[in-house]
Amino acid sequence: MAIDDLTWIHAASYFGAGVSVGFGAIGAALGEGYTAGQASDILSYRPRMSGEILKTMLVGQAVAETAGIFALVVSMLLMFGELKGHHALEAWAYVGAGLAAGLSAIGSGIGAGFPAGAACQALGRQPSASGQITLNMLIGSSITQTPCIFGLVIAFLLMFIDYGAKPYYPYWAAFLGAGLSTGLAAIGPGYGGGLVGAGACRSLARNPEAQRPITTAMLVGIGTTQSTAIYGFLISLILLFKSFPESTSYVPSFALLGAGLAMGFGGIGPGIGEGITGYYALDQVGRVPEEATLLTRTMLVGQAVSESTGIYSLVVALLLVLNA
Amino acid sequence: MEFTGADLVRAAALLGAGIAMGLGAIGPGVGEGYAAGKACEAIGRRPEEAGLLTRTMLVGQAVSESTGIYSLVVALLLMFVVK
């Protein structure tokens, strides 16, 4: 039984829709659950502050939900959007779009829950600093959404790109690899960025006077955690827009798929690790603000070493792309 | 489309290189981050020992890096050496 291209594309768009919202639902739910748990915990000590804590919890959860909503939007577009049906590559692009939007929502969803939970705890401990705590929570959770925005951008590019006269081999693997690279590499930075934000909120509750050094160290720490998401995004853009010659073998295809997997998985560890570093460093910045410079320096050295494997992955991914 | 055995082996080697480096990078990244985090915590508690603590952190991270380097070596071998 022969199946025509349009049928494959149709099937792939539904598969991509399921993958997108399926993976995308993991992160937001876990992050929001964590926030609610922390809010309940502090409410048992401070029942009179229920209004304020509940408000902070809901604002924090709303930010964490962003990632899940992006995945939902992509999956709706895949289900009800118009299929072009000109080129068999479209099927792979839809699968890649689902993977990019879905996987990238995992880290950002979980990550955004950490600052929100820490902010609820911090409010209960230091109600007078509520303004600064909420501000730091919002900065932390919104920067944590960067990786899932990268995922959304790649998903849209994959859905609306002009397939033109691109050859089926090796572009099918380039599209799949582009989705996997940004999607997987976003998990670590999202998770890690959230940890840094949580450390900042915790630290503010201990020492609200040290707001300046805490916010500065937080921004530096979160910025570093996002680096591997940027590498993943970069590899996806290269896979999408570099022109590959048509090939008659499987070798270039699997090289491109390998590049996507190398950078995707390789971005997870450094992102989480740098986030753990930032969490502990931020905790101490609030305790001993006079040593903030020393702590920021040590944090950056530690994060740089943790980054190394992410850079190896980037190099291997680039070598694989050039080999194709 | 031509499909030969040598092609299949080469394709599998390249895919394997990507998976090796990708998965191999997860552990060292998390582990080194944890080491650095605990070092920052300790420096906050005893800032006067910052030199010793930074040195210990770097030695610990170097050991933790080793599996990442194994992955890199295996990935490069799969890409450029094995036939």
| A1 — pLDDT class (breaks 50, 70, 90) | low
* CA nearest to B1 within chain A: A248
Do the chains contact at A288 and B54, CB–CB below 8 Å?
no
Closest by CA to B32, choosing from B59, B50, B4, B72, is B59
End-to-end CA distance of chain A: 33
Do the chains contact at A288 and B40, CB–CB below 8 Å?
no
Q: Is B4 exposed, middle or buried (0-12, 13-18, 19+ CB in 10 A)?
A: exposed
What's phi and psi for A88, nearest 5 deg?
-65, -20
Q: What is the pLDDT of residues A132-165, one digit of tens each?
A: 999 999 999 999 999 999 999 999 999 998 887 8
Do the chains contact at A262 and B22, CB–CB below 8 Å?
yes
pTM of the predicted model, to two decimals? Answer: 0.95
The SS3 of residue A249 is coil
What whole-number distance in Å separates Cα of residue A297 and Cα of residue A307? 15
Residues composing chain A: 324
* ipTM confidence: 0.94
What whole-number distance in Å separates Cα of residue B21 and Cα of residue A89? 27
Q: What is the pLDDT of residues A243-290, one digit of tens each?
A: 999 988 889 999 999 999 999 999 999 999 999 999 999 999 999 999
pLDDT of the residue at A318: 97
> Are A141 and A222 spatial neighbours (Cβ–Cβ below 8 Å)?
no
> Are A57 and A131 spatial neighbours (Cβ–Cβ below 8 Å)?
no
Q: Which residues have C-beta within 8 Å of that of residue B21, sequence separation ≥ 6?
A: A262, A266, A312, A313, A316, A317, B71, B72, B74, B75
Do the chains contact at A258 and B19, CB–CB below 8 Å?
yes
Do the chains contact at B36 and A303, CB–CB below 8 Å?
yes
| B5 — pLDDT class (breaks 50, 70, 90) | confident
Question: In Å, how far are A214, A244, A291, A322 from B8, measured between CA atoms?
Answer: 54, 19, 57, 19
CB contacts, 8 Å: B37 with chain A: 276-281, 302
CB contacts, 8 Å: B7 with chain A: 249-251
pLDDT of the residue at B2: 61
pLDDT of the residue at A97: 97
What whole-number distance in Å separates Cα of residue A290 and Cα of residue A305? 25
What is the least distance, in Å, from the CA of A25 to any CA of chain B? 23
What whole-number distance in Å separates Cα of residue A246 and Cα of residue A280? 50
A274 touches chain B (CB under 8 A): yes
Task: Count helices and strands (H / E) in chain B.
Answer: 3, 0
CB contacts, 8 Å: B58 with chain A: 301, 305
- Alpha carbon of residue A299 to chain centroid: 21
Q: What is the pLDDT of residues B29-77, one digit of tens each?
A: 999 999 999 999 999 999 999 999 999 999 999 999 999 999 999 999 9
Q: Which residues have C-beta within 8 Å of that of residue A162, sequence separation ≥ 6?
A: none
- Alpha carbon of residue A181 to chain centroid: 11
Work out the angle between the directed axes of helices A89-125 and A50-80 (0-180°, nearest 10): 180
What is the least distance, in Å, from the CA of B37 to any CA of chain A? 4
Work out the angle between the directed axes of helices A187-206 and A211-225 (0-180°, nearest 10): 170
What is the least distance, in Å, from the CA of B7 to any CA of chain A? 6
B33 touches chain A (CB under 8 A): yes
Q: Which residues have C-beta within 8 Å of that of residue B49, sequence separation ≥ 6?
A: B42, B43
Give me chain A's average pLDDT, please.
95
Least confident of A57-66, A243-252, A307-316, B10-19: A243-252
B9 touches chain A (CB under 8 A): no
Do the chains contact at A298 and B38, CB–CB below 8 Å?
no
Q: Which residues have C-beta within 8 Å of that of residue A254, sequence separation ≥ 6?
A: A173, B11, B12, B14, B15
Whether the pLDDT of residue B1 is over 70: the answer is no
* CA nearest to A224 within chain B: B33
Interval A26-43 mean pLDDT: 96
What whole-number distance in Å separates Cα of residue A195 and Cα of residue A189? 10
Whether the pLDDT of residue A324 is over 80: the answer is no
Q: Over pLDDT 70: what percentage of chain A?
A: 100
Count of pairs with CB atoms under 8 A, one residue in A, one in B: 207
CB contacts, 8 Å: B15 with chain A: 254-255, 257-258, 261
- Alpha carbon of residue A179 to chain centroid: 13
What's phi and psi for A241, nearest 5 deg?
-110, -10
Q: Which residues have C-beta within 8 Å of that of residue A117, sequence separation ≥ 6?
A: A34, A35, A37, A38, A39, A60, A198
Whether the pLDDT of residue A91 is over 90: the answer is yes
CB contacts, 8 Å: B38 with chain A: 280
Q: Is A95 exposed, middle or buried (0-12, 13-18, 19+ CB in 10 A)?
A: buried
Max intra-chain CA distance, chain A: 74
Sign of torsion over alpha carbons A104, A35, A279, A63: positive
Do the chains contact at A287 and B35, CB–CB below 8 Å?
no
